[in-house]
Structure formats: C-alpha cells, structure tokens
Amino acid sequence: MNILEKIKTNYSASLNEMTVAAYLEECKQDPKMYAKPAERILDAIGEPEILDTRQDPVLSRIFSNKKIKIYPAFRDFYGMESTIEQIVSYFRHSAQGLEEKKQILYLMGPVGGGKSSLAEKLKHLMQQNPIYVLKAGEEVSPVFESPLGLFADYTDELESEYGIPSRYVPSCMSPWASKRLREFDGDVNRFKVIRLYPSIQEQIAISKTEPGDENNQDISTLVGKVDIRKLAEYQQSDPDAYSYTGGLCLANQGLLEFVEMFKAPIKVLNPLLTATQEKNYKGTEPIGAIPFDGIILAHSNESEWAKFLNDKKNEAFLDRIYKVQVPYVLRVSEEIKIYEKLIRESSLRDAPCAPKTIELLAEFSVMSRLKEPENSSIYSKMRVYNGETLRETDPNAKSIQEYRDDAGINEGMQGISTRFAFKILSKVFNFDSEEIAANPVHLLYVLEQEVIKMMLPPETETKYLHLIKSVLASRYAEFISDEIQKAYIESYSSYGQNIFEKYVIYADHWMQNNDYRDPDSGEIFDRSILNEELEKIEKPAGIANPKDFRSEVTNFFLRYKANHGGQSPRWDSYEKIKNVIEKKIFTNTEDLLPVVSFNVKTNEEDEKKHRDFTRRMRERGYTDKQIRILVDWFMRVRKTMA
C-alpha cells in the first residue's frame, strides 16, 4: 500500500457508523469500545522490555543492579528512564480507577529539558486508538462525548445488561445531547455512534491551550463561549447557540495540553478543578454541565511552579496535581545520543565531525548541571554518573549513591540546556567558511565566547569558563596528544603487546614473591627490581594502588588464556592496562614534532613520514583541514602541558 492509499484507508476507517444498540452489543465483547483515555494511551505505549542491569557493569553501577523498564515508545528519550516510568505509572494508576484519574499530569523542569517533546509524544500516542462518539443526524457531538453518557442515570442497568462497569459511564450527557434526546422523545435509537481517531490536526479529542494576556484572558479558552452569530436563531441559553471551542470541549475522551499552565490567572484555571474531580464543568452560559473524561497534561518551568506553590490560595489546586520532574540528562553517554539524533535529523548528518567533539560538548553540558561535590572533582562525579569506575585513577571519587545523596532531589534542574548545546554545535559546524565540519578546537572557542555573551551571574560564568579552559581543554590536550602520537608511531601496536606481556610476567612473579630470570639475557630480577620495572610502566599513568592493579591485570590475563585455549589477550582488549601502556609508549616521543608539524621539511624522509602521519589521521576520522588545525593547537598548548 503506497502513501496515498494509506491516507485514504485511514480516513475512511475513521468514519464507521453504527446504532447505539449495535455499539452496546460490541461493548459486551470488547472492553476497548469504552476504554478510558488512560487505558488507550497505555495500550499505545505497549508493554515494557525488562532490562536486568546486573548483566551490564556500567548499567549495574548506575541503577544499583535493579531491573528497569524500557518502553519502546519512548526509546528516543535518552537518559529519562525515571521520568518516563513516573509518567507511565500515572496512566497505569488512572486506568485502574485510582486517585490519579482525578489529577492533572504536570511536568515540571528547566527550559529545553524535554517537557514539550514528551507532551508531543503523548499526543501522538493518543492518536493510535479510536474513540466512539455520539452522533445525531449528520451532526457529531461537539464535545466528542461517549455514547455511554446517554445512560448516566442508568448505570446499574447498563452494567447488568451489557457488563459495562459504572465507572466507565460519564457523569452526565452534554447539553447538546440532552436537547436532541428531548427532540427524539427519549428514543435513544435515533442516535448513531461513530468511530473517530483522535487527531492533533483536526483537534478531535486532542487540544492545546496556552496562557494569554492576564487582562483579557477568561475561562472561555477552556470551556468555550456563546456564538454571537447564532443568537439571531437561538436563545442565549440554547445549547446550539454555544461554541464548544474551549480546550476542555475539544479534548474530551482525549488529552488537553496546557502549556505554561501556571502563567495563566487562577480564575482561568478554576474550571479544571471541577473537570478533574467531578468529570464535568460549567460553560459561560446557563446551558447545563458539560462532560469531560480526558487527561489534562500541563507543563512549566520550576520558577512558575515555585511561585504558584507559595501562594496559599492555590492549595485546593495543588492537591489535584500529579507532579513529575523532568530534569536535564546527567549521563554523558545519553547526552551524546541526543546530539547524534539531532544531527541525524538535520542537513549536518553527512558533515565531518572530528572525534571527541560531541563528547566534549556533552561533558560540558552535564558538568554545568551537576552540584559541585565536596572533597572530589566535578569531572570525576560526571564520570561516576556515567557508570565508570574510578577506583584506580581517583581515590577521592565517591560512589554514585553518595554523590546523589549529597546533591539532593533537584540536581539536574539547572545548567546548560540541550537546546543551547545544539545551537553551540550548529555554530561549530559552520565556524569555518571553507568547510562545514566540527572539531574540538573550534568547539572550545565557540563555547567560551557564547558563555561570555550569556551575561550569567559572575559565579556561574566563572564556573563555566573554568570547565572550558581548565577541565575540557586539558583533557582534550591529553587526548589529541595520544591521537597524534598513535598516528605517528606506526608499529606501536606490536610494541604495546610486548610491554603488556612483560608487565604480566613481572607482576605475576612479584606477587608470588619469586625472582625472575630473563630468558634472553639470563639476568635475574629480584622482587625489588621487579617492582622498579613495574613502576616504570605504572607511574606515567598515575596508578594509585599498584598492588591491586597488578593483581587485577594478571588475573584478567590468566583467565583469558584459560578460556581461549592458551591464547594471550591483545594488549588493548582491557581498557585499564591499555591506557597504562599507551602512557608508557608515548612518554618519550620528542622526535615526532618536526614530522607532524606542517612546516617545510628538510629532507624527503621527514616528508614521507608526514604524509604517512596525515594518512593515518584521516583513517582515524579527521579531514585534512582538521588535521592542520588540531596539530597547530597541539603545538601551542604542548608547552603548557609540559
């Protein structure tokens, strides 16, 4: 089926019509015919995948070995597992008929944290399952009411005859339906039931309300108002003279999104109280109660919430709110996925991006959101939050739970937004007029300039500039130094394997307190000499606890050989020892500077080495322009690194 046929099929499928009697008979067989909005959206969300974090060392550290639920419908919402679980819990409890069915789902979080994206996703999910709406003649109920509203006074009979629980029956029928029922002399069979799919575009069972001007906004934005064009034909109190265009009218049996809800005057919000508690509300004219059986989804930032919370006059309203915090992402790996998704959905998807660019931006964003820890570095805290273990590299690092307990529940509610970060990334890609590409050097420069332009409080600006200049720049200097040296030393892999195997032999004999005889030279190494040789490898990498490190690496080596038929592991197959050996390899590489620089070479041999170096850098993911920029930057900062 092509796209044109699919649109036609979906449109015609939403126009199915039946009698009220046929609808009730269908209800006997299929409870989905009268399902509440929370049940329909739960069905659209689907069953979660259960992820046992004990099977993944990184996730086990982040989630403390718990089993977590992953909902496929929200797979693109990275690092928001807790938030999404709270939202789904709201729908689950509401579908069970618990107190949540009378409460407003309220998302509270900082700007650019994902509140609007979550709201849009929920509205799209609401479109997946149909609703059944009352129809009289050629006119569909203007408030998309359920046919069961006709039986609001006959709930016991409805349950006994058709098995429909009373809690599924609306509290009343609409004034529109009440007028038609009088015209039909109480003959319910003259009504029809039509199947419709909720639609964002058509505002069928889905609507959106925004706060207007405090001086002229009134409750009509929610409940509708009289249509003055019809007053020549109908009385003002006639239901047919009423314009059912308010958010509550259009969102019946579906979802009402209230953007920045607490910016609206309290008088505008009052209809939400009766709509949530009594499942009906009054219009602006004396036309009778209008039913509402839908979900109210509101969102705003923390400052609006705090202002509303501190006003004692709002206590009744506060008791009807189910608050879900939507903080910024605090895991670098998940923040990277957000940027990669945004890039994929733009024209930058094929533009070159040098290694480490996106990671550095994610690190800056996450560190800006973290509370500064005591007796530990914010960089270490960021890495622990990302599921890394720093036992060997930072003895001052705390456990993830200690960091969380110290930070409190509001961590992640401040800092750099994902929206701001992507604007930074856009400027970095377009920084060079000759090449649409991104690299960390341009990123660090643009970040610094944009932070200064933000006119932040002095304390915050100082913190951000420190993160850029001292933390990120120094870390990147180490990274690009390794990249350049790896590209320079072509045979460093075999050299690394030799160091690895020798290290394991020395460490094993040292732990067993045995002397070691070198098979090539015949020289005997006692325990003190073995220790000196091991320290030559460990000290450049800053190993804090060499005894445990030696034991861990040796055990890894021996276990691997035992499980792979006596074959030794590659030196770079174990991240910890890989980093240590790389530090050892690249301790003395003074001769690389004249080769990697773009100055004129004095001999053909250096020129060939330079060409080989640039070729290997290209293989590592850099463009020719980026290689020159990064090498020049490395040469400048190298003196400060020494």
Question: CB neighbours of 316 closer than 8 A, spacing ≥ 6?
Answer: 273
Split at pLDDT 50, 70, 90, the class of 134 is very high
**DSSP 8-state secondary structure symbol assigned to residue 354:** -
Task: Report the pLDDT value the prediction gives residue 94, as an integer from 0 to 100.
Answer: 94
Q: What pTM, to 2 d.p., does this model score?
A: 0.83
User: Residue 335 pLDDT > 90, yes or no?
Assistant: yes
Cα–Cα distance between 497 and 246 in angstroms, integer? 72
Question: CB neighbours of 61 closer than 8 A, spacing ≥ 6?
Answer: 384, 387, 388, 389, 400
**Which of 148, 624, 59 has the alpha carbon at shortest distance from 389?**
59
Give 13: exposed, middle or buried? Use CB within 10 Å, 0-12, 13-18, 19+: exposed
Task: Report the pLDDT value the prediction gives residue 641, as an integer from 0 to 100.
Answer: 55
Instruction: Give the chain's mean pLDDT.
Output: 88
Mean pLDDT confidence for 612-621:
90
User: Residue 10 pLDDT > 70, yes or no?
Assistant: no
User: Residue 89 pLDDT > 80, yes or no?
Assistant: yes
- Spell out where 169-224 has E strands: 191-196, 206-209
> Structure tokens of 185?
């002399």
Mean pLDDT confidence for 462-491:
87
User: Residue 15 pLDDT > 70, yes or no?
Assistant: no
Task: Report the pLDDT value the prediction gives residue 7, as an integer from 0 to 100.
Answer: 60
> Which stretches of 76-174 are DSSP H helices?
81-95, 115-126, 155-162
Question: Which range has the worst mean pLDDT, 163-167, 248-252, 514-518?
Answer: 514-518
Task: Report the pLDDT value the prediction gives residue 572, as an integer from 0 to 100.
Answer: 77
71 bridge partner residues: none
Question: Which range has the worst mean pLDDT, 207-211, 245-249, 449-453, 576-580?
Answer: 576-580
218-273 pLDDT, tens digit per residue, is 788 899 999 888 888 888 889 999 999 999 999 999 999 998 888 888 888 888 88
Question: CB neighbours of 285 closer than 8 A, spacing ≥ 6?
Answer: 225, 226, 236, 237, 241, 242
Q: How many residues does the chain have?
A: 642
Cα–Cα distance between 392 and 376 in angstroms, integer? 15
**Coil, helix or strand for 254?**
coil
Higher pLDDT, 308 or 366: 366
Mean pLDDT confidence for 309-331:
88
For the chain, the domains span 1-33+132-196, 36-130+197-321, 332-479, 491-588
Q: pLDDT above 70 covers what percent of the chain? A: 94
Q: CA geometry: angle at 416 spanning 411 and 421, to 5°? A: 140
Cα–Cα distance between 101 and 584 in angstroms, integer? 63
Question: CB neighbours of 295 closer than 8 A, spacing ≥ 6?
Answer: 37, 38, 41, 91, 94, 105, 126, 251, 254, 255, 256
The radius of gyration of the chain from alpha carbons, rounded to an integer in Å, stands at 33
The fold of the 36-130+197-321 domain, in CATH, is: Rossmann fold (3.40.50)
| Matching residue, tokens 């923040």 | 335
